[in-house]
Amino acid sequence: MKIEHIAIWVNDLERMKRFYENYFRAQAGEKYHNPAKNFTSYFLHFSDGARLEIMHRPDVLKKNISADTLGISHIAFSLGNEEQVDVLTEELHDDGFEVVSQPRTTGDGYYESVIKDPEGNLLELTA
């Protein structure tokens, strides 16, 4: 069994698509639009086969996102090694994205940093 995809609601569909394409090399499928429901979405495909669906509907309200709320806490991206974690963390920081925690080895042995995507979703960057 494998997880088919994870879906997140977003406010700015095009900005989020560009973010994941630019920093995580996602390949976006065709934009889906259902005018009856005022719903739009993209499936973002990653090189290892994982998929992320980003969805927008104007009536969906944003919730407070933090590490201390119930529900999905974060999405983790394995970048391959510690150097890649350091490089991408620095690039995201330099481009104005919030770094929640700098690269470090955690108590459970992961080398990781945590950043926020353009809409505040927590992303773990792991080696």
pLDDT of residue 68: 63
Residue 66 is which amino acid?
S
Residue range(s) defining the domain that contains residue 24: 1-58
Residue 38 lies in a domain: yes
Which of 33, 58, 83 is at the close of a domain? Answer: 58
Q: What is the mean pLDDT of each run of 10 residues along the chain (127 residues)?
A: 90 97 97 96 95 94 63 90 98 98 94 96 95
For residues 80 and 127, state if they share a domain.
yes
Is 108 contained in some domain? yes
Residue 63 domain flag? no
Q: What is the pTM of this model?
A: 0.89
Residues 48 and 81 both lie in one domain: no
Q: How many structural domains are present in the chain?
A: 2
Task: Give me the pLDDT at residue 66, please.
Answer: 58
17 lies in some domain: yes
Say which CATH number the domain at 93 has: 3.10.180.10
Please count the other Cβ atoms lying within 10 Å of the Cβ belonging to residue 121: 16
